[in-house]
Structures are given as C-alpha cells and as structure tokens.
Structure 1
Amino acid sequence: MSSAPLPVVFVVSPDASRAARLRPVLGGVDVVQVPGAEPLLREAHVRPPAVALLYADTPGVPLAEVLPLLRQRAELAGTFWLAVGQAGLGGLLSAGADALISDATPPDMLALQVRTLLARAAQHAELQERLAQFQRRLDTWEHEERVRDQLVHMLVHDLKNPIAAVMGLLEVVEDDDRVPDDARELVKIARDETGHLLHLAVNMLDVRKIQAGKMHLRPELVFSPMFEEVIEQARGDVGSGLRDRHMRVAVAPGLSPTRADPEILRRVLANLISNAMKHTVTGGLISVEVWQTEGATHLRVRDDGEGIPTEDIPNLFAAFEQSRLTLHGRFDTGMGLAFCKLAVEEHGGRIWVESERGQGAAFTLTLPLAQDNDDDDFVELLS
C-alpha cells in the first residue's frame, strides 16, 4: 500500500540555499527550489504546490506579473502564495499574494508560517474533496431521477391506453342485459378497480411532473356554480363505490371568485373523496363543503370512518406513504394525497388533515381569492 504523497512547497528564488535552509525545519514536506518566474509557470502546471514562497528579489520576469496568471489556473486554486522579501512586497500583495513575510525571518519562524499555510491548504483540499463527493452524489441522484422519470413516464403512457380499453369493455359488458345480476356485480367491481388503477398511474405521473416543475396550471375564475360542477365531476371520477355511501355537498352561495385550475381542482377533490370512501364502511357519510373567509376559499372533505392514527398524520402527504389503518385491502401508493398537496401548493394554497381514531377525518384545503386585476379581467370579459 503506497503512502500519501508529501505536500509540496516551492521556494521561488535563484538562491538554492534558501530552500536548503528550509528543508531541515520542514519535516514531512517536499521543498522544491524554482529559480524564476518562467520555470514557475512550467513546474506549477506539472506539480501544483500547496504553498509557494515568492522571493521579491527574484530576477527576470517579475513574479508580480505571473502571479495573476497562476491564480487563474484551476489546478492551483488550493495553492497559498507567500511573498518573502524587504522591497517589492506591495506589488506581490496587489497581484494576489496571501501573506507577506520578511526575508530576514529565521528559518524556524518561516517554517511556522509555511506550516500555517499548509494547514489551510489541507483544509481547502479536504473541502474540495468533500465538494467533489457531494457533486458525484448529486450527479448520481440526478441520473437516477432522470431514469425514474423516464420509467414512470413510459409505464404510465404504456398503461393508460390498455387500462382505458379494459374499462370501456367492462362498461359494455356491465350494460349488457344478457349478463346475470351476480356476474354484473363482479363486472362492476372489476371496472371500479380498473378505474382505481388508472388513477394510481395518472397520479404517479402528475406528482413527478409537479416535482419537476413541468405541470403548468390553467387557472380560471371559479364561482359557486362552477364549484358545484367540479364536485359533481369529481364524484363521477370516483366511480360506483359511492353508491354505497351517503354524499352531502354544501357550497356557499355567492362566493367571491377564486382563481384555480378547474381540472386540477377536480382531480384533487376526486382523490380526497376516493380517500374518504376507502376509509368508510357501507352506509358511511362523506361531506364536501365550500365556504370563504376573508382572503381565502376553503374546501373540506369529511368522512365518518375509522380515522387516522396520530403517528401516521405527519407523513400522510408524502409519496408512497399511507395510513396503516384502513378498512379495505386495496393497495395504494399514497400518490393521491401527495398529488393533492403539491397541486394545492402550486395554486398558492395549503392542505391539512384533522382526525381522531374512530371519529373520521377531515381534509381541508385553502385557495387564495382572485386579485383585483383578475376581477377586472372578468368584468371586461362580460362587458
């Protein structure tokens, strides 16, 4: 196993004795004499030093002229430059030297200054290595995210058409008078589950789109009648399972306009109603309420089901999370609630849940009211 290379210190001066005096007091360091500016340009490229001592009395091309060039090199970003001398130090300092010291300084004191800079160079190298590690991890994560996005996109798009075709065929069979009633009930269940599978796939794709900033809202001014229409559409999206539940809708009349994307709002409500249905028994009550307070529109989907355990609530809106307590065996990715949270926040609102074991759950979301200029646009549209 090879040992780590020694840190390199350049002594830039034609006087070889300066490097020779420094070597005995700098144990564990490779002290290299560099006679002038031109050799420095070559040597620094081949073997970047941790510290370079620039003697101001070095003849030839002034070191103050080459130092700015050296500081621009990426491989020398961690090098510390120590100007040494009596005169000409100001020019080196202006050119980018990190510290100044007299050439009359005893070797042991000079070595102490060099070791201080070596420690700083080691810290810089360690930070650069950690940064490189983080960058590699980030690159790996970004690659995995791209692969995951492509996989999700491929799966969803490849699944949507055949699932929709199966749903259509099941609907035709369910409406066929020749099908016995007991078989018709099985077909209905199969159609509902197929619809649920389609919702899972679409939710997964939409969550990825919102996270990637690729889902763009198409907001409109939404009033009381449109809220009623969106809720009715959401009920239809949930499917025939709601026939076994009592549904109550209460939309306050004369609501001030809310700026929202009706199609996304429909999807949010469908997910919340479906979630409520999943946690209630046959004959259970699901209510949807819409009302306003100053500055916000509130929508609440409440059920009288088994409720959500307190320990499950903090992670309820995370993808691939769901309550461990459920009345049904249906698999769920948790993408529905994750989509709801991201979609509501994309509107500038927020969503939360209140629940007690055995007393149902209430999911409430808020949406901001339309601004004055939105109202003006609506007035112009009507005039």
Structure 2
Amino acid sequence: MKDEAKSKKQLIAELAELRRQTAELNQRVSELETAESQHVLESELLRIFRSATPIGLFIVQDGEFQFVNDIFRGIAGGKPDELIGTPSMNLVLPEDREMVRESAIKMLKGERREPYRYRIVLSSGQVRWMLEGVSSVQYRGRRAVLGQAMDITELEQAQEKLEEAYEQERSLREQLEAEAQWRIEFTRALVHELKTPLTPVLSSSELLYSELHEEPWMSIAENIHRGATNLSKRIDELLDLAKVEIGTLKLNRESLDVLPLLQRVGEDMAVVAKSAGQSLMLELPPSLPRVWADEERLRQVLLNLLINASKFTQEGGEITLRAREQNGSLVVEVEDNGPGIPKEDQERLFRPYHRQLSDRERLSGLGLGLALCRYMVELHDGEIWVDSEVGKGSTFGFSIPLAATFQQREDAKREVVT
C-alpha cells in the first residue's frame, strides 16, 4: 500500500510538471504567433510604403538613404536599391543644398511647418523640382529622418510660364500706356496748334456773316464760318477720343430733367434739317423721369446722332426723335428714312475712324461721331445700338439709367461691400 501511495504522489507530481511544461509551451507558441503576426504586419506596411502610396517616401540615417519607395525611386530615376547607402545630399542641386539642410533641421525641431521646395539633378543631368517635408522616426533602434516628397516639376514649369506671360503682359501694358500717353500729349499739342489760328477765323467769319447782307458775299462768309465751325468740331472730337482711350474723360453727372434738353436739341436741329430740305419730328411724352447724366455729354450724343441721321437722309426725307421710359432706363431713338446700312457695316459703325465705303468721298468727317457716342453712353452705364435695313432707313438708339435706378444700384453696391 505504501508503494502504491508513492506511485500516486509521483504521478501527481509528474502531472503537475507536465502541466507546467505545457503552459510554458503554450506561452512560447503564443509568443511565436504574435511575433509572426507582427512580422506579417510590418511586411504589409513595408509593401504599402514601397508601392501603394502616391507620395515618395525615404528614410535617411547618418546622412545616407536607408529606404526609398518605388515613387521616390521613379522621381530620382534610380534603379532598384541604387540609392541605398548613398549620401542623400548628392541628389540635391548644389545651389540648393544649404537651404534644404536648414529647412529640414527647422522642420525636425518643430520650427517650420510648411514643406520646402528644392531641385534635384538626375544622372541624366535633368533638373526636377521637389516639394518635401521631413519628420523624426526610430528605424532599427536608432533615430532617423522620414521624408515625404512630391515631384512638382510640371507645376513649377507652368508657374514659370505664367510668370513669363504676366511679365510680357505687364511690359506690353506699360508700352501701351506710354503710347496712349504720348498720343494724348500729341493730340493736345495738335489741338492747341490748330485751335490757336482757328479761333480768329471763327470769330471773324461770324462777324463778317452778320454784317454782310448782299450776295454772293453773304454766302461766301457763311461757307467760311460753316467750314471753320466744322473744323473746330473735328478737333474737339479728336481730343475727346484721345481722352477716352486713356481713361481721362470724366463725367459731371447729376440728377437731370432730360425732357427740356431733348426739346432744345430737337428745336436746334429742326433748323439744320429744314435747311437741308428735311423735316425733324419730335415724339416726346408730356413728362419723363429724371436721369443721372452729364448734361453737356448727353447733348453731344443727341447732336451726333441727329447730325448723322441728317447726313444720310436725302432731301425731302424725315427724321424722328423719340424718347420713353423702359425698365428703369431712359430710351432715346433717332430714326431716319435714309438708304439704310448693310449688316456687315453695322458691326463696325461704333469703331473710331470707321466710314462706309460708299460715303467716304461724298461725306466729311473722320468717322469719330458714333464712336464717341458709344463711349459717352457707356460712361453713363448705358447701351447703344443700331437697327437698320438697306432701303428702309435706320434707327439709332441708346439707354441710360434713370436717377432712381442709379441710386438703387449704388445702394446695392454699398450693401455688398459692408
């Protein structure tokens, strides 16, 4: 019985030892499984870093590349593992090395957040632009630098072209501004030189015409005065156009009762039309809202349109001046029953110096009147147009804001700003 008892105790002891060894074995197996899982995870992360990320990654330790992914290798143009073990600064353009070194140190110290730009030189001699950021990491138990880089060569080239285009545009603009300034100075000098001798001709011809009452001397004096007046008008148009082209023509806008102005201009032009064997009809309403306009420049537009209509209307023809309020604007139209204007000429009518080919010999002027009308109307924040058909006459019209409409627009602009 005693031997049998010992045998049981021995069995219990052996079973306990076996359990202990089994537990140790299970723990060792678990440790091995954990290590294997960690190894698999690290391998998976390494694979992602090598090929799946769209950003170039590299690890530098002791100044040399220890790891580069496929993207970075593609940018640098190296073969597999060709960069490993080589100094990272060898890739950087010599002129940029000091800047790269200082920027990387500041970023590692936390003194800089934004990435820095620099150039690399490939083995082929090609220079490419990089955008890079770095951070401090532990690699194989030691401190290392993890870099993230992007190839921005195409972006830099596009920016360089944009800057070149901007520089060319700026140079061209300065050249055009200088030419425009020269033109206005030349025009001013020309106006002065022409106006100085013309002034006594105007006053003398007017006095002579008022004093003479016998033919043919009265007609001769009238022709001299008319010619001098027309010449003075052409000179003024040249100066106005030069001012418009360089942006120095200013308006003196105010709230204007436009109906009396339309009536006065119509009455004045009715005399001119009558002398040409034409009739001028006024189709004006009993009242019109006030407009926000420069009275003298608006008068100039009306006169130019009416004179233009008279030029192209045959003896016995009819010209109509009408006005109305429409959609917060004053709309004015001058209609004639002249020969009409071909479509191809209508598109160019409001350009300076444009004249219809059929009228260049029989009509005077430089072709500035309608161009000035367009400029004046646009300075009033308005629009101008022509509606014409060959053989059926023409209608020239323009619109400018009413005083109330202009005030509403200005109030809306101020609200947007505030």
Structure 2 unaligned residues grouped into runs of 5+: 1-59, 79-86, 118-127, 139-144, 408-418
Deviation of 1:307 after TM superposition, in Å, equals 1.5
Which structure: larger Rg?
2
Deviation of 1:249 after TM superposition, in Å, equals 3.1
Structure 1 unaligned residues grouped into runs of 5+: 1-12, 27-31, 72-77, 89-100, 104-109, 375-383
1:147 to 182, 199, 205: 182
SS in structure 2 at match of 1:287 = strand
Q: CA RMSD in A?
A: 4.4
- Is the contact between residue 209 and residue 221 of structure 2 (CA under 8 Å) also seen in structure 1? yes
Moved more, 293-302 or 334-343: 293-302
Deviation of 1:357 after TM superposition, in Å, equals 1.3
Matches within 5 A, 1:177-216: 177=212, 180-181=215-216, 184-211=218-245, 212=247, 214-216=249-251
Distance 2:172 2:406 in 1: 46
Change (3 A) 1:190 1:155: same
The aligned residue for residue 138 of structure 1 is 173
Change (3 A) 1:329 1:16: farther
Deviation of 1:328 after TM superposition, in Å, equals 5.5
SS in structure 1 at match of 2:313 = coil
Deviation of 1:33 after TM superposition, in Å, equals 8.5
1:160 aligns with 2:195: yes
Change (3 A) 1:224 1:216: closer
Distance 1:288 1:267 in 2: 15
Change (3 A) 1:157 1:222: farther
1:273 aligns with 2:319: no
Distance 1:146 1:186 in 2: 40
Distance 2:211 2:382 in 1: 45
Change (3 A) 1:334 1:48: farther
Distance 1:327 1:284 in 2: 21
Distance 1:344 1:336 in 2: 12
Distance 2:132 2:390 in 1: 70
TM-score, normalised to structure 1, is 0.66
Per-residue CA deviation, residues 272-307 of structure 1 (Å, 9 max, x unaligned), is 122112212334332222344463333222222222
Change (3 A) 1:174 1:60: closer
Deviation of 1:247 after TM superposition, in Å, equals 2.8
SS in structure 2 at match of 1:365 = strand
Change (3 A) 1:215 1:14: farther
Per-residue CA deviation, residues 251-283 of structure 1 (Å, 9 max, x unaligned), is 434213322333222111111122112212334
Matches within 5 A, 1:35-54: 47=95, 53-54=100-101
Change (3 A) 1:279 1:85: same
2:289 to 247, 253, 257: 257
SS in structure 2 at match of 1:170 = helix
The aligned residue for residue 298 of structure 1 is 331
Distance 1:330 1:170 in 2: 23
Report how many aligned residue pairs link the two structures.
Answer: 317
The structure with higher relative contact order (CA 8 Å, sep 6+) is 1
The aligned residue for residue 8 of structure 2 is none
1:246 to 254, 278, 299: 278
1:83 to 133, 153, 160: 133
Distance 1:304 1:312 in 2: 17
Distance 2:208 2:389 in 1: 42
SS in structure 1 at match of 2:357 = coil
Distance 1:222 1:126 in 2: 54
- Is the contact between residue 354 and residue 361 of structure 1 (CA under 8 Å) also seen in structure 2? yes
TM-score, normalised to structure 2, is 0.61
Deviation of 1:82 after TM superposition, in Å, equals 1.6
Distance 1:266 1:217 in 2: 13
How high is the sequence identity, in percent, across the aligned residues?
Answer: 24
Counterpart residue type for residue 138 of structure 1 = R
SS in structure 1 at match of 2:206 = helix
Matches within 5 A, 1:5-20: none
- Is the contact between residue 344 and residue 351 of structure 1 (CA under 8 Å) also seen in structure 2? yes
